[in-house]
Amino acid sequence: MEFSTNTSVSIHQVKTAALAVGIFADGVLSPAADVIDRASNGAIRAVMKTEFTGSANSTLVLRNLDGVAAQRVVLVGLGKQADYNARMHANAEKAFTSVCITARITEATSTLAAIACPGTTATDRARDAAAAASEATYHYDATFGKPNPDARPKLKKISLLVARSDSTATDLGLKQGAALGEGVSMARTLGNLPGNICTPTYLGETAKKLGREFKSIKVTVLDAKQISALGMGSFLSVSKGSDQPPRFIVLHYKGKAPAKAAAKTATGPVVLVGKGITFDSGGVSIKPAATMDEMKFDMCGAASVLGTFRALAELGLPGEVVGLIPTCENLINGSANKPGDVVKSMSGQTIEILNTDAEGRLILCDALTYAERFKPSAVIDIATLTGACVVALGGVNSGLFSKDDALAESILKAGKQAGDPAWRMPLDDEYQVQLKSNFADMANIGGQPAGAVTAACFLSRFAKAYRWAHLDIAGTAWKGGAVKGSTGRPVPLLLQFLLNQSA
């Protein structure tokens, strides 16, 4: 997708296949809509009396208006003016893009980013516009025998019409939004690929390819022997039931040097840890068959780390970020974990495996211990960890767990800014008792009550050396049913968090 800024032409003179103008539900026209209305002798106000109310995300296409150079003027409903915010703007851009895709046009122009939203800048609005267009034009056909080129969106170019004074800020926002779109698309495709293609080895090769493409990313991929040498017994125990060898992927991003003032306060890199179970059968504690195909999405935490690194490198953000991805399959053979087995983690703590389907925490705990060597300023792990989080929060919010209030607030803020929200969940010490084991330092599950909380409590035992937060994305990383597919979340949240840190 190609994005550009247009400041040199009057709105009614813009030659484009489709021009978006905003209409508020209380009958207020955006400045661009008012110009078009006057140029077309009241065509917009006329249809507002009979056909268009301006309700949020509604659209109406007007063709070949007198006095207007655009082939189509797309009226986009913005909802009530008093309620208009950044998320409504992003949804309005998506609604416009959908009209363009349906019309099979190749280029379009939007004036929606020029409409002020409370708490946003021109950069924010441009970033949201580019990200929305990238999301709407995403198309997966990697595993079709004969991909249908006609099924792919034709839209290739989006121009934002803004005031000249906002052009620099808008260009920056478009750059950020385009990079975010690339990262989200990468994460979605990795999630959508089937488990027989997207194996631990494939994820390792994908990371190496990223390192070859961007000099700012150094990649190391460790094999089973090297993982064993580190003492990652918990991680390796999960991989024993599969013929696919495990991999431990380490990505190290170093952007351009930060400003001197920022350098003085730097305390270490942010570390992102992504769960990479490329297929999860549940092991001996096998999952129900009905939706087991969706367990190819159990590596979406890993995919989000890779997608975030792509976006980071595209932008060339200052600072240092480390990515850690423990990846393997959770299958069944004669060597697979059994309920009652006891394994030793890299930290030296032992774990009684009461349920082999609680395997994500078994690979993450060793990665969290490994993270200590980087002396991080903060560690965020991202995992499709528990069905309990889906029950608690559904598909709207990711679950956020942290004992560090400042870190939690910065993550919540980033999610709100990016339209990729999280909700803070409890992490009280009183829940830890549920992990008590008679045969090891801890059990890997704490029973049915507060399952998402006790999973986070388990991980917290391996993250005491630094500021840490856990994102449970089991409800947000993919959608099921007729719209089944990866969402690419929480790449928007993670990139916004890193953007805020670099600022």
Type of residue numbered 399: G
pLDDT of residue 9: 79
Q: Which of 94, 128, 161 is the endpoint of a domain?
A: 161
Q: What is the pLDDT of residue 260?
A: 54
Same-domain pairing of 217 and 340: yes
Q: Are residues 291 and 205 in the same domain?
A: yes
Domain count for the chain, please give it: 2
Give domain status of residue 47, yes or no.
yes
CATH number at residue 374: 3.40.630.10
88-101 confidence digits (pLDDT tens)? 999 999 999 999 99
Question: Cα–Cα distance between 394 and 452 in angstroms, integer?
Answer: 13
CATH number at residue 109: 3.40.220.10
Q: Is residue 310 part of a domain?
A: yes
Within a domain: residue 392?
yes
Same-domain pairing of 26 and 102: yes
| Residue from 125, 127, 275, 361 carrying the catalytic annotation | 361
**Which whole number is the average pLDDT over 160-186?**
97
For 248-273, the pLDDT digits (tens) are: 999 999 998 755 544 444 589 999 99
CB contact at 8 A, 383 and 51: no
Is-contact 155 105, C-beta < 8 A?
A: yes
pLDDT at 104: 96
Establish if 147 belongs to a structural domain.
yes
Q: How many CA atoms lie within 13 A of 349 on its CB side?
A: 22
What does the alpha-carbon distance between residue 17 and residue 458 come to, in Å, rounded to a whole number? Answer: 55
Whether residues 65 and 198 share a domain: the answer is no
pLDDT digits (tens, 9 = 90+) for 231-241: 999 999 999 99
Q: What are the tens digits of pLDDT across the range 371-381?
A: 999 999 999 99
Q: What is the pLDDT of residue 184?
A: 98
Q: Would you say residue 166 lies in a domain?
A: no
Judgement on whether residues 147 and 257 belong to the same structural domain of the protein? no
Residue 171 covered by a domain: no
Q: Tell me the two tokens of residue 482.
A: 């007729």
Q: Find how far residue 226's CA is from the centre of its chain.
A: 30
Residue 263: what pLDDT? 44
Are 277 and 222 found together in one domain? yes
The catalytically annotated residue of 38, 80, 157, 287 is 287
* Residue 237 sits in the same domain as residue 343: yes
Shared domain check, 258 and 156: no
Same domain flag for 120 and 154: yes
* Number of residues in the chain: 503
For the residues of 264-315, what is the DSSP string, one character each? HH----EEEEE-EEEEE--TTSPPPSTTGGGGGGGGHHHHHHHHHHHHHHHH
Residue ranges making up the domain that contains 131:
2-161
Do 334 and 300 fall within a single domain? yes
The string of pLDDT tens digits covering residues 397-455 is 999 999 999 999 999 999 999 999 999 999 999 999 999 999 999 999 999 999 999 99
Which residue among 110, 126, 161 closes a domain? 161
Distance between CA 483 and CA 422 in Å, rounded? 22
Q: Which of 106, 39, 33, 123 lies closest to 75 in space, CA to CA?
A: 33
Same domain, 367 and 473: yes
Asked whether residue 170 is domain-assigned, the answer is: no
361 is catalytic: yes
Average pLDDT, the chain: 96
- Model's pTM, two decimal places? 0.96
Is residue 363 located within the same domain as residue 284?
yes
User: 292-351, pLDDT tens digit by residue?
Assistant: 999 999 999 999 999 999 999 999 999 999 999 999 999 999 999 999 999 999 999 999
Q: In the annotation, is 461 catalytic?
A: no
User: In this prediction, what percent of the chain has a pLDDT beyond 70?
Assistant: 98
Q: Is the pLDDT of residue 386 over 60?
A: yes
Give the H or E element holding residue 126: helix 122-136
Contact call for residues 108 and 17 (beta carbons, < 8 A) = yes
pLDDT value of position 167: 95
pLDDT in tens, 36-66: 999 999 999 999 999 999 999 999 999 999 9
174 located within any domain: no
